[in-house]
A and B are shown apart, each in its own frame.
Chain A
Amino acid sequence: MQVIDLRGVSCPTNFVKAKLALEELDNGTVARILLDDGEPVKNVPRSLKADGHRLIGLKQVDEGHYVLELEKIDA
Chain B
Amino acid sequence: MADVKQTKVDLNNLKAGGFIKERGKDLFTVRLRVPGGRMSVPRLKKIAEVAEKFGGEFVHLSVRQSIELININFKDFDAVVEELGEATQKVASCGARVRVPVACGGCEYNPNGLVDTQKSALEVDEKLFGTPTGHHKFKVAFAGCPFDCPKSATNDIGFQGAIYPTLDTDACIGCGLCAKSCVPGAIVMGDDNRPIFSDAPCIWCGDCVKVCPTGAWSEAKRGYTVRIGGKWGRNPLVGTLFATFLPEERVAEFIATVLEWYKEKAEGFGRVRLGDTIIREGAQALLDHLQGRFPGYTVTATIAPQVIATQVGSSR
Contact = CB atoms under 8 A, between A and B. Distances in A.
Interface in A40-68: 41-42, 45-46, 48-49, 55-60, 66, 68
B2 to A, nearest CB: 72
B176 A45 contact: no
A49 B176 CA distance: 17
B213 A60 contact: no
A41 B213 CA distance: 9
A68 B213 CA distance: 10
Q: Interface residue tally of chain A, by bracket?
A: 10 to 19
B212 interface: yes
Q: Interface residue tally of chain B, by bracket?
A: 10 to 19
B211 A60 contact: no
A42 B175 contact: no
Contacts, number: 31
B212 A46 contact: yes
B215 A41 contact: no
Interface string B174-205: 11110001000000000000000000000000
B213 A46 contact: yes
A56 B175 CA distance: 10
B214 A49 contact: yes
A56 B174 CA distance: 10
A56 B171 CA distance: 11
Contacts of A68: 213
A42 B215 CA distance: 13
Contacts of A45: 175, 177, 213
B173 A60 contact: no
Interface string A6-39: 0000000000000000000000000000000000
B293 interface: no
B177 A58 contact: yes
Given A49-B213, A49-B215, A58-B213, A42 B177 contact: yes
B173 A55 contact: yes
Contacts of A60: 175-176
Contacts of B210: 46
Given A42-B211, A46-B213, A49-B213, A57 B175 contact: yes
A21 B307 CA distance: 57
Interface of A: 41-42, 45-46, 48-49, 55-60, 66, 68
Interface of B: 173-177, 181, 210-215
3 tightest A-B CB contacts, nearest first: A45-B213, A58-B175, A46-B213
Given A42-B177, A48-B213, A56-B173, 19 more contacts: A41-B177, A42-B181, A45-B175, A45-B213, A46-B211, A46-B213, A49-B213, A49-B214, A49-B215, A55-B173, A55-B213, A55-B214, A57-B173, A57-B175, A58-B173, A58-B175, A58-B213, A66-B175, A68-B213
